[in-house]
């Protein structure tokens, strides 16, 4: 028995927000003081570091569970499975449904339950639940799904990663330019076909690192102090990621028995182009190898950082031939990896 991704789907919001659209924002520091340089300079430096030219935001009438449903429908259709035969629906997100112009998140019922309801699944033994695991949530959902299958508790699982970070970003914090919205979904199944998930690795660092990302007040001191926004200590996250993500990827690859030279692609969480490049370069240095060209496909340039959605949407685009100069072929070995709030790290090795 091998455990494979048998179908994938994604929802990329239609609303495009370019860097220039932030020109009129009033960016402040954490003390509430205006930054000492112009928005033009801020945007230029932002592009150099993150690689982001534009990002996608959902339309005002949509929430996270809506776009998750769209992606799930497409994955189910792609896999050609009957939704009633799903054993688990595992939904990774971090902020629930946040409606436009509201300050409260909605998590009751769970977003997985909402997706199951919208899919019109009647089977009560299709168990639907949410996981909050930071940006690595979808990767962790896949790891959980394959564990259920290996334990004989399931045959088919739907794993979703969706987020609308535009609803929880502080407009006065320049870090808000990183965030975007999106949804990706996959069907994970037990099959007799060769390949699939070969190994996995997960770790949570919380002793000193738990609050590297957190919910905090707006940098604008005139804003309601009871309203919270996503915040992060970027430098600490960068240093943490470079120290620990390459090691986790190395351990995961060694568990799989696959040689480093046989790795064709690394699908890493689209957090920040410079950080991702540094992680992958350090990973190859652990094997005394140069980083191969085109080993790391990137979608962040046009889609931004949509948290749990970055990896499944990237996979969906690749497997369907929607990325220029990048493709996945039968038999390719791929590393999926992510890092995010918690601080959590995970990876799995997959043979197409």
Helix/strand number for the chain, H first, E second: 8, 13
Taking alpha carbons only, the member of 199, 210, 249, 255 closest to residue 232 is 210
* pLDDT tens readout for residues 276-308: 999 999 999 999 999 999 999 999 999 999 999
Q: Which helix (H) or strand (E) holds 257?
A: none
| pLDDT value, residue 222 | 82
Hey, is 122 helix, strand or coil?
Answer: coil
2-194 and 198-351: identical CATH topology: yes
* pLDDT tens readout for residues 4-53: 999 999 999 999 999 988 888 888 888 888 887 888 888 888 888 898 99
| pLDDT value, residue 8 | 98
Q: How confident is the model at residue 80 (pLDDT cuts 50, 70, 90)?
A: very high
Q: Which helix (H) or strand (E) holds 81?
A: none
Tokens read off for 44? 């230029």
Q: Is the predicted pLDDT of residue 103 greater than 80, yes or no? A: no
Q: Is the predicted pLDDT of residue 167 greater than 80, yes or no? A: yes
* pLDDT tens readout for residues 212-224: 999 989 888 888 8
In this prediction, residues 164-169 reach a mean pLDDT of: 95
Who has greater pLDDT, 103 or 349? 349
Q: Which helix (H) or strand (E) holds 71?
A: helix 64-79
In this prediction, residues 246-252 reach a mean pLDDT of: 97
| pLDDT value, residue 257 | 95
| pLDDT value, residue 34 | 84
Taking the CA atoms of 310, 313, 319 and 325 in sequence, report the sign of the dihedral they define.
negative
304 in Cβ contact with 54 (< 8 Å): yes
151 Rama class: left (phi>0) / alpha (psi -120 to 50) / beta: alpha
197 in Cβ contact with 139 (< 8 Å): no
What is the residue extent of each domain of the chain?
2-194, 198-351
pTM given for the model = 0.94
In this prediction, residues 177-200 reach a mean pLDDT of: 96
Dihedral of the alpha carbons of 282, 287, 293, 298, in degrees to the nearest 10:
-40
* pLDDT tens readout for residues 129-146: 999 999 999 999 999 999
In CATH, the architecture of 2-194 is: 3-Layer(aba) Sandwich (3.40)
Look over the chain and give the mean of its residue pLDDT values, rounded to a whole number: 94
Q: Which CATH number does 198-351 carry?
A: 3.40.47.10
């Amino acid at each position: 028995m091998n455990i494979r991704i048998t179908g994938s789907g994604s929802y990329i919001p239609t609303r495009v927000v370019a860097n220039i659209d932030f020109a009129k924002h009033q960016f402040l520091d954490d003390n509430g003081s205006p930054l000492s340089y112009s928005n033009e300079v801020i945007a230029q430096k932002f592009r150099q570091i993150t690689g982001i030219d534009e990002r996608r935001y959902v339309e005002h009438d949509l929430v996270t569970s809506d776009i998750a449903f769209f992606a799930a429908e497409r994955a189910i259709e792609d896999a050609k499975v009957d939704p009633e035969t799903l054993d688990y629906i595992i939904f990774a997100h971090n902020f629930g449904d946040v409606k436009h112009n509201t300050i409260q998140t909605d998590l009751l019922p769970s977003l997985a339950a909402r997706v199951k309801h919208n899919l019109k699944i009647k089977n009560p033994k299709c168990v639907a639940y949410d996981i909050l695991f930071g940006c690595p949530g979808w990767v962790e959902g896949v790891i959980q799904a394959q564990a259920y299958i290996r334990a004989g508790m399931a045959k088919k699982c739907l794993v979703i990663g969706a987020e609308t970070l535009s609803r929880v970003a502080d407009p006065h914090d320049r870090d808000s330019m990183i965030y975007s919205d999106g949804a990706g979904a996959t069907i994970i199944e037990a099959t007799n076909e060769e390949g699939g998930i070969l190994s996995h690795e997960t770790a949570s660092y919380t002793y000193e690192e738990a609050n590297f990302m957190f919910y905090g007040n707006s940098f604008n001191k005139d804003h309601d102090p009871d309203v919270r926004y996503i915040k992060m200590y970027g430098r600490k996250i960068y240093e943490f990621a470079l120290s620990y993500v390459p090691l986790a990827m190395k351990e995961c690859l060694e568990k799989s028995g696959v040689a480093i030279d046989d790795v064709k692609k690394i699908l890493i969480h689209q957090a920040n182009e410079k950080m991702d490049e540094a992680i992958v370069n350090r990973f190859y240095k652990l094997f005394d190898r140069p980083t191969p060209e085109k080993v790391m496909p990137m979608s962040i340039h046009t889609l931004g950082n949509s948290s749990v959605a970055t990896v499944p949407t990237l996979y969906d685009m690749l497997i369907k031939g929607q990325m220029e100069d990048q493709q996945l072929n039968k038999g390719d070995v791929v590393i999926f990896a992510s890092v995010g709030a918690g601080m959590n790290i995970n990876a799995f090795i997959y043979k197409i």
